[in-house]
Amino acid sequence: MANDHDEQKPSASLALLLEIVRCPKCAGDSTKGILDPVREHTWLVCRDCDRKYPVPEDIPVLLVGEGTKWQHTAVADLPVPPPSPE
């Protein structure tokens, strides 16, 4: 079994998701709300509002409330792996 855990690339399914997902807070404008993966793709950061969305198990949790919770947390301080939503 190949071990790809050293790679920083997202899995194929996550890469595909990243092309279509946008920050739910900013997505009303189609040019806004682009999410950049950080911390080895365990978090997504909105370029416009700086909300940060956790990606536990390669599944982005795109809830405004969740993003707001981490909005003022520095990227370097985000927990890895991210907490799963309750």
Nearer to Zn ion, 9 or 28 (CB): 28
| Minimum distance from residue 51 beta carbon to Zn ion (Å) | 5
Q: In the structure encoding, which two tokens stand for residue 81, read together?
A: 């792996």
Q: Cβ of 24: how many Cβ atoms within 10 Å?
A: 17
Give min distance, CB of 82 to Zn ion, in A.
17
What DSSP character marks residue 34?
B
Tokens 């799963």 locate to: 84
- Exactly one of 46, 52, 54, 62 binds Zn ion (CB under 5 A); that residue is 46
Cα separation, 29 vs 17, in Å, equals 19
Asked whether position 25 contacts Zn ion by CB under 5 A, the answer is yes
CA-closest candidate to residue 48, choices 58, 34, 68 = 34
Residue 35 within binding range of Zn ion, rule CB under 5 A: no
Nearest approach in angstroms of CB 61 to Zn ion is 14
Contact footprint for Zn ion (CB under 5 A): 23, 25-26, 33, 46, 48-49, 51
